[in-house]
Amino acid sequence: MLSEEQTPPAERHLIIRDRIPQFPAAYARFDYSALEKLLTSPLWASVSIDYCYTDLELPKVYDYVFSRANPAKAWRQRSIVRYAFSYGHLLDHLSHGHAVHCLIEFPDSLPSIFTELPLNNGGLTMHPGIGLCTAENWPAIYEHLSRPE
């Protein structure tokens, strides 16, 4: 188990890589009909996250949305990671180091940056990532991502 407190503040953000427009065929053995309507809602995003930075209980609330390629492209907007799936199984938490399918709620509106994400194609198309973080961690993340390499 890796707690959020054990993770350096500059690394405390989820990395979203692509969109998942429908539940994969592997989910057919489960009844997620109540969640399927969220896939087309303008207030929800169905996405894959890459390498979770720590172990997190769900739901998890974030305050900032930003481009990892251009951290100046950021805005304060509440988001809530409500659901996560791994190989069709509904999870109640995210595990450090794992990539999973998530349903994320944006109570005000889905940020336009999400239109930049490619559709999931098994990892063939990689996006630099959209990040989600808390207001507390945003300054450290911004400073880290803004450093010249």
- List pLDDT tens digits, range 75-119: 999 999 999 999 889 999 999 999 999 999 999 999 999 999 999
Task: Tell me how many domains the chain contains.
Answer: 1
What are the tens digits of pLDDT across the range 10-39? 999 999 999 999 998 888 888 888 898 899
Asked whether the beta carbons of 63 and 76 are under 8 A apart, the reply is: yes
Cα separation, 128 vs 111, whole angstroms: 17
In the numeric block, which tokens belong to residue 115?
């239109």
Distance CA 26, CA 14 (A): 24
What CATH number should be reported for the domain holding residue 58? 2.40.30
pLDDT tens string 120-142? 987 778 789 999 999 999 999 99
Query: Which range marks the domain in which residue 87 is found?
Result: 4-146
Tens-digit pLDDT profile for residues 61-80? 999 999 999 999 999 999 99
User: Which pTM does this prediction carry?
Assistant: 0.94
